[in-house]
Amino acid sequence: MNAINNAEWRIRMADGSSENLAPESSLVTRMYLSFERFLKNLILIVMRFLEKSWNIGKNEPRKVIHCLKVGIALCVVSLFYYMRPLYNGVGGTAMWAVMTVVVVFEYTVGATLYKCLNRATGTFCAGFLAIGIHWIANQSGKRFEPIIMGVSIFILASAATFTRFIPAVKARYDYGTMIFILTFTLVSISGYRVANLLNMAHERVSTIIIGASLCVITSILIFPIWAGEELHKLVISNLEKLAESLDCCVAEFFSDSEDTTTNTKKMLAFKCVLNSKASEETMANFARWEPAHGLFNFQHPWGKYLKISASMRSCACCIEALTSCINQKDQASELLKNELTNTCQQVSSSTSEILKELALNMKTMRKSSRMDILLQEKSNAIQELETLMEQLSGLLFIQPKNDQEKPVIRTSSTNVIPLVEIIPTATFASLVIEIATRIEGVVDGVEELSKLAKFKLEDADMIIKQNKPVIKNIIN
């Protein structure tokens, strides 16, 4: 087969070029070949898909656990009906339990609870309303019944759809509104046989409750994944990434080596902060539905996490601008850079220290008393950098007094720096100061969170242990 495949027929054309002639092969051979190619491609695609899945499973085993949980819940709900054949025929009530499990079971406990509660409330309200309207329609005679029902379906479905556009409703009751429309229409249509209506409502509600409670139990009892905890972890890791990025950027700018590849990944960690808005909002929405778990109470102030993240994003934007300075670092004047290195690094390291401390505070849910000292250190460092920059005009452009009589151009030629060489460093320093200032939004956010969530104060001995060097400095 390979021999045929590799054989090439070549003829020389009149204009000197050569052309390949495909070997004449039978229809069967060609079909076999194209089928072989198709099969190879298919295997390749499947292999790649499996490899990707394997990587996801290896990196996040909790996703695999979630899948097994869904499988278990579905098996239980279906076995429940295998064992006790409660339903008669197709479309019996068994269906509602299965449907509830499939539709309602989500990755996090919060999302599952949100869907369960919305589904239950939506079904209940719509059923109640539909039976009421049906009763009214029934009283007004055979002729008006379909008209009343049709008009009520139109008005209620339109109104309910409209509420889904209102942000507050969308965030919390979107699914419930959809279920409301669904149940209302179904009950209205089924209302043709009112004798069955209450029976059906009872069956449907009970099967939905069976399905929903099965979901909630599975999702809470077997390796629960809490939306709140995920959000908490995400914000902490974003704080750490921001600190890491800042450190790397400053180190990179003031380092002499040309090799930027090693730190690029760490340097660009801030991109995660910029890109996590949507997932944070979703998680905060789901976290609201979760009961107390781990370190978090029911109604933990999840909204504050969004505020902290918004402040972090404004810092991340500055870091993004900072990275552009790094590309210009070759143009920067060495003199000015050397002058500013220490103070700039002090500002950035005190800022990243604050970020790390905030991350630690959130991780341990404790209020550290070090924060005030760190903030003081940071504003001292900023002050120092600003003073330095005020003084630097002297260093840069003004002659020492004993050189007064010499021609200015010659003597200053060693120290005068063109503006274009000042700019990278000046921009860098100013952005570092801006980041150090903006970090206060994050500090305020965490402060508000710690008040609302009642973070405990650190143990006294821990405080002394942590602050020993600082206290020593103060005493000396």
Region 87-146 residues binding its own copies, contact defined as CB under 8 A: 89-95, 98-99, 102-103, 146
DSSP-assigned states of every residue in 85-142 = ----STT-THHHHHHHHHHH--SSHHHHHHHHHHHHHHHHHHHHHHHHHHHHHHHTHH
Q: Does 419 bind its own copies (CB under 8 A)?
A: yes
Q: What amino acid is encoded at 67 in this protein?
A: C
Q: Which C-beta is closer to its own copies: that of 11 or that of 83? A: 83
Q: Which of 8, 13, 84, 85 binds its own copies (CB under 8 A)?
A: 85
Q: Which C-beta is closer to its own copies: that of 101 or that of 120? A: 101
Segment 341-400, which members bind its own copies (CB under 8 A)? 386, 389-393, 396-399
Pair 150, 158: CB distance under 8 Å: no
Instruction: Single out the segment in contact with its own copies by CB under 8 A; choices: 26-34, 181-189, 235-243, 372-380.
Output: 181-189
Segment 425-464, which members bind its own copies (CB under 8 A)? 426-427, 429-431, 434, 438
| Total residue count of the chain as it appears in this document | 476
Contact track, its own copies, 323-342, x by CB under 8 A: -xx--x--------------
Q: Which C-beta is closer to its own copies: that of 53 or that of 297? A: 53
Q: Name the DSSP letter for residue 407.
A: -
Looking up tokens 């460093």 gives: 425
Query: Collapsing DSSP states into helix, strand and coil, what is residue 35?
Result: helix
Looking up tokens 């109104």 gives: 159
Segment 273-302, which members bind its own copies (CB under 8 A)? 274-275, 277-278
- Least distance from its own copies to the Cβ atom of residue 298, Å: 24
- Least distance from its own copies to the Cβ atom of residue 118, Å: 14
> Phi first, then psi: what are they for 456, rounded to 5°?
-80, 155
Query: Collapsing DSSP states into helix, strand and coil, what is residue 24?
Result: coil
Q: Does 416 bind its own copies (CB under 8 A)?
A: yes
- Least distance from its own copies to the Cβ atom of residue 71, Å: 4
Q: Does 63 bind its own copies (CB under 8 A)?
A: yes
Q: Does 318 bind its own copies (CB under 8 A)?
A: yes
Q: Does 162 bind its own copies (CB under 8 A)?
A: yes
Q: Does 74 bind its own copies (CB under 8 A)?
A: yes
- Least distance from its own copies to the Cβ atom of residue 57, Å: 7
Q: Does 42 bind its own copies (CB under 8 A)?
A: no
Contact track, its own copies, 236-275, x by CB under 8 A: --------------------------------------xx
3-class secondary structure per residue, 46-67: HHHHHHHHHHHHHHCHHHHHHH
Cβ atoms within 10 Å, residue 234: 18
Q: Which C-beta is closer to its own copies: that of 90 or that of 474? A: 90
| Residues 6 or more apart whose Cβ sits within 8 Å of residue 265 | none
Q: Name the DSSP letter for residue 291.
A: -
Question: Going by DSSP bridges, is the β-strand pair 9-12/18-21 parallel, antiparallel, or unpaired?
Answer: antiparallel
SS3 content of the chain, % helix, strand, coil (to 5): 80, 5, 20
Q: Which C-beta is closer to its own copies: that of 32 or that of 54? A: 54
> Phi first, then psi: what are they for 12, rounded to 5°?
-90, 130
Instruction: Single out the segment in contact with its own copies by CB under 8 A; choices: 80-88, 258-266, 350-358, 453-461.
Output: 80-88
- Least distance from its own copies to the Cβ atom of residue 11, Å: 37
Instruction: Single out the segment in contact with its own copies by CB under 8 A; choices: 13-21, 63-71, 240-248, 368-376.
Output: 63-71
H-only helix segments in 398-459: 408-412, 419-452
| Residues 6 or more apart whose Cβ sits within 8 Å of residue 304 | 445, 448, 449, 452, 453
Longest dimension (CA), the chain: 113
- Least distance from its own copies to the Cβ atom of residue 308, Å: 17
Segment 193-212, which members bind its own copies (CB under 8 A)? 193, 196, 199-200
Q: Name the DSSP letter for residue 193.
A: S
Q: Does 424 bind its own copies (CB under 8 A)?
A: yes
Alpha-carbon distance of 30 to 411, in angstroms, equals 85
Q: Which of 37, 150, 194, 456 binds its own copies (CB under 8 A)?
A: 150
Segment 43-62, which members bind its own copies (CB under 8 A)? 49, 52-53, 56-57, 60
Q: Does 423 bind its own copies (CB under 8 A)?
A: yes
Q: Which C-beta is closer to its own copies: that of 314 or that of 369? A: 314
